[in-house]
């Protein structure tokens, strides 16, 4: 469970506020990151990556326009978020290296499951 401090730091790092990133949504992002990683640094970095990916999805539809002497470059938001995403992906990779490379949770079966044979009318 993410603390109020963790959520405030997440909002600060991605440029969000309580309206754009409610506490429940931020806690969900921390839970999703904790499903993939076990150490705190990787969870924090992956949470920011997930949040920025969500912002990228919503900013992809922004367009720039120009009329007479005024202009708005809303499409630049996507470019800037992409650069911010690469920064946090680099920090995630650094956190994984410092955790010894075993920060990702994965599993597999230890053996091949036995085959159950059922015979009808047998």
SS3 call for 70:
strand
Check whether 52 has a pLDDT greater than 70: yes
Check whether 105 has a pLDDT greater than 70: no
CA angle (109, 47, 55) in 5-degree steps: 125
**Separation of CA 94 from chain center:** 16
- Looking at residues 51-71, what average pLDDT do you find? 80
More confident residue, 35 or 61: 35
pLDDT of 7 reads 92
pLDDT of 103 reads 45
**Separation of CA 46 from chain center:** 5
Please give the mean pLDDT across all residues of the chain.
Answer: 83
- Looking at residues 9-33, what average pLDDT do you find? 91
Check whether 17 has a pLDDT greater than 50: yes
Across 67-102, b (16+ Cβ under 10 Å) vs e yields: eeeeeeeeeebbeebeebbeebeebbeebbeebeee
More confident residue, 34 or 65: 34
- Looking at residues 3-30, what average pLDDT do you find? 91
pLDDT of 51 reads 92
Give 29's pLDDT tier (boundaries 50, 70, 90).
Answer: very high
SS3 call for 13:
helix
More confident residue, 109 or 37: 37
Side-chain half-sphere CA neighbours of 21 within 13 A? 26
């Amino acid at each position: 469970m993410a603390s109020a401090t963790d959520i405030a730091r997440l909002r600060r790092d991605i440029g969000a506020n309580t309206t754009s990133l409610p506490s429940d949504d931020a806690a969900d992002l921390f839970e999703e990151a904790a499903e993939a990683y076990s150490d705190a640094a990787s969870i924090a970095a992956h949470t920011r990556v997930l949040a920025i990916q969500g912002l990228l999805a919503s900013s992809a539809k922004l367009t720039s326009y120009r009329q007479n002497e005024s202009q708005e470059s809303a499409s630049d938001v996507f470019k800037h978020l992409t650069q911010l995403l690469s920064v946090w992906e680099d920090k995630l990779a650094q956190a994984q290296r410092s955790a010894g490379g075993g920060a990702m949770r994965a599993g597999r079966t230890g053996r091949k499951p036995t085959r159950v044979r059922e015979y009808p009318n047998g």
